Structure 1
């Protein structure tokens, strides 16, 4: 990436000015990266995201006023297509706030003590449409919190919400919730990867989901996948 138009456009959000300035400086010094704005809280992040339409939002979770979780929801709800990819910055890898951020539509999360190269690689990965971590890691994280409530009773998605899906869409969503890749789902159902992608995209559209991690959350919270089950 050498041309301006090919640069990954990043919005940095953190209420701690030293962290925010340091991350922004690192990104500005990296080839192929462009910092389009810096926000000190969730409300400012929503405004700047709408104004600059970044490719990636580096989002702190715990901020005064509007949290990173609420800001993620607002940004993705109001975003034009393609929506930005939200990469959550957190101190704890199994923080309950991370689970809430995944439910809100974040593409993944990164620990704040990650090194510079890890941060740059993470931004590049999510900008390219990848999740930051393997689906099985997402599954373990979600299971840890889904166990706390009976299936279909959580705040995210009631069991009846899946009635809008076709049988095949439900099956693809279930296998996504188990942590399978599109290739793995294709092998399991004996269909093409393109067909898997079509079914998953339709299911996500019907359920108002904007990320694969969010689809995994929905599979658990609706009871389609039960924590601890082999699937």
Structure 2
């Protein structure tokens, strides 16, 4: 079964919009695990507009499944990850002012930097994953960095699928096949939803994990978070 990691950034966004501690990020992290999710994902940004750096510290003893911290490996982020020591760190090349992640790494141009950062995390027994577009040269470049996994950036697939163009899955299949051949694990995330997740999972060989936040939280407003978590789990079997 492909594992489901729930990104709880949107819960923190809602909390921060009013101040105080409602909704409670820690309680939501406990609940999604209780409902069956295999992990919790957070993506702290330098301005802490949703998940705060202190949230990462506070979540460490609460997340008993897999804890995945995503972000751009600036020094402040690197220091946080080395302090918290999550199960997995996912490196994302987003700018400080990016509304959301919008591109994968150029693993060739950034080879030396990625090698250095990944080595530091692996010395501390933290599994590494890097966010990449489904471009075969970028997958090959990822292998050189020494990363344990890649995370396929799935916005393009989700957009094409919404238009009825199921052929948009093909670059992702090819990227996953190559990654498997190169002995890197395959994760995926961005704009995956209840509408497209089963088709994606059924077509991507050896898909280990998906990280889903925005769609899952939006769907939960109508259907309830326990129901939605279990609907994803059913589709990922």
TM bin (shorter chain): 0.3 to 0.5
Computing the radius of gyration from Cα coordinates, the structure with the larger value is 1
Higher strand residue share: 2
TM-score w.r.t. the length of structure 1 is: 0.33
Relative contact order, CA 8 A, sep 6+: which one is greater? 2
